[in-house]
Amino acid sequence: MSVLRSDNYDLVVVGAGPAGIAAAAAAAKAGATTLLLDENAGPGGQVWRGLTSTPLTNRDMLGKDFWDGQLELEKLRSSGAEVLQRATVWSIDPSLQVGISHGGASRIVQARRIVIATGAMERPFPIPGWTLPGVMTAGAAQTMLKSSGLVPSEPTVIAGQGPLLWLLAGQILRMGGRIDVMLDTTPKGAFAAALPKAFGFLTTPYFRKGLKMLREVRSKVRIIKHVTRIEAQGDGQLERVVWETAGGKRGEMASRLLLLHQGVVPNVNLAMSTGAAHDWDGLQLCWRPRLDDDGQTTVPGIYVAGDGAGIGGVGVALARGRVAARAALTSLGKSGQDADLSAARAELAKANRGREFLDLLYKPAEQFRIPEGDTIVCRCEEVRASDIRSAVDIGASGPNQLKAYLRTGMGPCQGRLCGLTVTELMAKARGTTPEQIGYYRLRAPVKPLTLSELADLPMEPEAVKAVVR
Amino acid sequence: MIRRDALIIGGGIHGCATALNLRHAGASVTLFEKDYAGRHASGVNAGGVRMLSRHVAEIPLSLRSMEIWERIGDVVGDDCALDCHGQVLVAETDSDFEDCKARVAELNALGFTHEELLSAAEIRAILPAVAETCRGGIISRRDGAAQPARATTAFRRKAGELGADIREGVAAGMPRFERGLWHVEAGGEEFAAPNLVIAAGAWAGRIAAHLGDPIPMEPVAPMLMITSRVPHFIDPVVILRSRILSFKQFPNGTLLIGGGHLGKADLDTNGTVLDWNKLQTSARTVSELFPVMRNATIVRAWAGIEGKLSDDLPVVGPSPRHKGLFYQCGFSLHGFQLGPAAGAVMAELVTEGRTPTDISGLSMARFNAS
Ligand SMILES: Cc1cc2nc3c(=O)[nH]c(=O)nc-3n(C[C@H](O)[C@H](O)[C@H](O)COP(=O)(O)OP(=O)(O)OC[C@H]3O[C@@H](n4cnc5c(N)ncnc54)[C@H](O)[C@@H]3O)c2cc1C
């Protein structure tokens, strides 16, 4: 892989979403040698996916937020940061060596500081039948929409909760796509619980945008509220969706496509694999890295910014990226950044307003997080909820012990699709907390690596040896 | 104070096997495990159940263990996914092959017959995918591999069912000897027993040093990698004579690559760090030996913490210095297979003061002599 200019950098940033773009731009502009690595074909991450390549040109279709990304990208371009797309980071170790795969070859680069900005992933939504063809996550549908302009044309049900669900529904409708029914799983009473935190939210731009989005979708789609049970049915392919509401009403619809989404959670695989400590977030119901005010993890020199640090959205991600980059530079003795650091911290505090309201409002209900009976939990190894309960009965005390019995988390997804479910399910079965149960112990390679790629890895680059930290 | 016949520090396969056998002998026992049974070497190893290539001092223990493995379902109530298609040592050069011949002759002279010499033709009949250049090797036909975490958990569960008091998540403090009993503080309670077994894996060196029985133990972190599924091409476990490599294909098609390259271990944090330069050497060796593997992907890699002694042999037996104190540690990367028999031997030593198995070469006294 000769595409890189160097074997060592002041700052390596992983992930070119808003947080990574902001971090890399801020660091490079301040004179740090900076490398930004991203798996996708172009920068943007999930919110700004396809910003440089989308076939959609009508600005209204994707909303203003999407096009705001261009401004941040411009800053990145003029900053002098080196950007490598289609580059997968498969390892980061505590000595800050970064294993990178690109174009079928690998190499190891030495960083002096690292910002992990690998964003969020969708929370698993393990309902009966969720593994049938025809059931997909709303996020996957959004990726198709942004990169190739594909929208559903057959009878479609969208189900779940959270701002992104409404956003996607709005985007599909604006592009002439079809949605017949929306099953809203926001629990009854969630609004009342969230209300005391509403003041912070009312003062944010999200509030105005949120209302507009809700109105738009409501005018075109049949909305069923307080849904408490959903089942995808069909023989080898989705044929119908069946549901029940808190009021005991049952319903069903013949459909070929079911889009599921119940919020996003930090994508912690890479950060966890470095050995950084993570804690259970009882409000957002997910793991998040233990960070200091600068976003630094418990592994010195490794920072996390963006939704990977805890879900916060674009504004928070940008601010966290800038805080982490400036703090990293300050710690490297690239002085004169202190004023910048406090400005970035102020930006972060402002961006965080209103988040608690959304977290409380969109806390997903237990029955959609902790499945029962025959419902599949681990897709890779086809493990059912009841299998996990039986393993707990014979002594499996946490996700790592469970592997020995059921191989959960050992397939190609490395637990991304089942990890949270397994932790919460085992906590419930053992009558304890997710914190006590813990998570899979994750390790490099966090992304599969071919044997030949490893065999051909350039040995001990001179520059790596020469680096003194 | 909780009074027992015996206390065990460490819930790996060794501590758990000893607890199980002590219960069969009628002794009351408490086992302390600071994490959970199988969290360390015993739960994350390559699962190799091998008599092949053992040091002569270990062979009697290894043979006894194999007999127990062969009826493991009856012993612990779980088949531990034990799968025996033999283990094969491959000689890649003429001089490797000469060593193999000498080895088999030496064992035969001592009366051991479990290792058999293989010619180049025989080895290719057993391993059709192996590179043409291989000269021959040795096979131990009864060997195989088991699922380590399942096996260790099964020993723990069975010991518990037989009445052993197994305390997981409870670290034992440094033991002290007072008025004829060994005292251990653990989880805020005080335990005492006339017998104490140190089966604390890589952590045993510290305890031994504290008790005045220093042993040359180094904590190490052997690494393993596992690949994606590839079409079935190999039955036995394969080890190379003069390069660091062992591998095994599982029934589901995945391939486990190991052999003993070491990462870094940290006893205080339970942490390990992989060394990609060494894993690269393994990847190169596999691609040279089995070109079909080049396009397989590595889906996971990990390391476990293990205690290695300077002569690569364990200590199994009584303390040369203290009454009622026993060591079962320092298995130096190959102690999984020995677990079942070592547990039986320890129980015999604790309850009867002797064992029919020849463990004379594994005594701690060998370090005092030098
Ligand atoms: C990667 C790898 C591959 C291997 N492959 C093979 C193989 O194929 N075949 C083979 O035969 N062997 C193999 N081995 C070696 C084998 O795993 C070990 O020799 C064996 O498991 C040692 O068992 P143990 O019970 O002595 O140690 P461990 O399993 O390490 O158990 C010791 C336990 O003691 C606990 N402990 C320590 N201090 C305290 C305290 N103060 N209080 C309470 N608890 C304490 C620890 O938490 C630990 O769980 C391999 C090892 C590794 C790491």
Q: Which helix (H) or strand (E) holds A210?
A: helix A205-218
CA atoms of A305 and A296, how far apart (whole Å): 9
Kindly state the DSSP code that residue A296 receives in the 8-state scheme. B
Which residues of chain B, if any, have pLDDT below 70? 369-370
Given its phi and psi angles, is residue A248 left (phi above 0), alpha (psi -120 to 50 degrees) or beta? left
Going A18 to A22 to A28 to A29, the CA torsion angle's sign is: positive
- Most confident range (mean pLDDT) of A54-58, A327-331, B348-352 is B348-352
B336-352 burial, b for 16+ CB within 10 Å, e for fewer?
bbbbbbbbbbbbbbbbe
Give residue-wise pLDDT tens across range A363-421.
899 999 999 999 999 988 899 999 999 999 888 889 998 888 888 888 778 888 899 99
Per the CB < 8 Å rule, is A451 touching B168? no
**Residue with more model confidence, A61 or B42:** B42
By Cβ distance, the residue of A275, A394, A452 closest to B271 is A275
Q: Residue B71's Cα: distance from chain center in Å?
A: 18
Does ligand 1 come within 6 angstroms of the Cβ of B168?
Answer: no
B282: nearest CA in chain A?
Answer: A455
- List, edge to edge, every strand of the sheet that includes B325-329: B165-168, B29-33, B6-9, B195-198, B325-329, B315-318
Confidence of residue A467 (pLDDT cuts 50, 70, 90): very low
Per the CB < 8 Å rule, is B280 touching A459? yes
Assess whether pLDDT exceeds 50 at residue A134. Answer: yes
Exposed / middle / buried, residue A440 (Cβ in 10 Å: 0-12, 13-18, 19+):
buried
Examine residue B214 and say whether the peptide bond preceding it is cis (omega within 30 degrees of 0). no
Closest to B58 (Cα-Cα) out of B344, B310, B364, B357? B357
Q: What are the sequence ranges of the domains in chain A?
A: 8-121+265-357, 124-262, 370-437
Average pLDDT, chain A: 87
Fold equal for A8-121+265-357 and A124-262: yes
CA atoms of B219 and B266, how far apart (whole Å): 8
Exposed / middle / buried, residue B182 (Cβ in 10 Å: 0-12, 13-18, 19+):
buried
- Find chain B residues with C-beta within 8 A of A405's C-beta: 150
CB A197 within 8 A of CB A360: yes
ipTM above 0.90, yes or no: no
CA atoms of A299 and A313, how far apart (whole Å): 25
Kindly state the DSSP code that residue A439 receives in the 8-state scheme. -
Cα-to-centroid distance, B316 and ligand 1 (Å): 14
- What confidence score (pLDDT) does residue A157 get? 96
- What confidence score (pLDDT) does residue B87 get? 97
Residue owning the nearest CA to atom 2 of ligand 1: B45
Does ligand 1 come within 6 angstroms of the Cβ of B54?
Answer: no
Does ligand 1 come within 6 angstroms of the Cβ of B12?
Answer: yes
CB A77 within 8 A of CB A71: no
- What confidence score (pLDDT) does residue A464 get? 44
Confidence of residue A199 (pLDDT cuts 50, 70, 90): low
Does ligand 1 come within 6 angstroms of the Cβ of B191?
Answer: no
CB B242 within 8 A of CB B274: no
Cα-to-centroid distance, A29 and ligand 1 (Å): 50
Assess whether pLDDT exceeds 60 at residue A208. Answer: yes
Assess whether pLDDT exceeds 50 at residue A469. Answer: no
Per the CB < 8 Å rule, is B294 touching A395? no
CA atoms of B62 and B72, how far apart (whole Å): 15
Closest to B82 (Cα-Cα) out of B157, B164, B143, B155? B143
Instruction: Tell me the CATH number for domain A8-121+265-357.
Output: 3.50.50.60
**Helix, coil or strand: residue A178:** coil
CATH domain A370-437 topology: Arc Repressor Mutant, subunit A (1.10.10)
Structure token pair of residue A91: 């390892």
Cβ neighbors of A133 (< 8 A, separation 6 or more) are A236, A237, A238
**Helix, coil or strand: residue A220:** coil
CA separation (Å) from B256 to A163, B127, B238? 44, 16, 11
- Ligand 1 pocket mutation, candidates B18, B32, B40, criterion most atoms within 8 A of CB: B40
CB atoms within 10 A of CB A460: 11
Structure token pair of residue B122: 């025989």
CA atoms of B183 and A373, how far apart (whole Å): 47
CA atoms of A388 and A373, how far apart (whole Å): 10
Assess whether pLDDT exceeds 70 at residue A74. Answer: yes
Q: Yes or no: is domain A124-262 CATH 3.50.50.60?
A: yes
Assess whether pLDDT exceeds 70 at residue A201. Answer: no
CB atoms within 10 A of CB A32: 23
- What domains, with CATH codes, occur in chain B? 2-77+147-215+311-367 (3.50.50.60), 87-142+218-308 (3.30.9.10)
**Residue with more model confidence, A47 or A15:** A15
Give residue-wise pLDDT tens across range A223-245.
999 999 999 999 999 999 999 99
Structure token pair of residue B231: 């079409």
Q: Where are the beta strands (DSSP E) in A62-155?
A: 82-84, 87-92, 97-102, 105-116, 120-122, 135-137
- What confidence score (pLDDT) does residue B21 get? 98
- Find chain B residues with C-beta within 8 A of A444's C-beta: 274, 276, 301
Give residue-wise pLDDT tens across range A145-168.
877 778 888 899 999 998 888 888
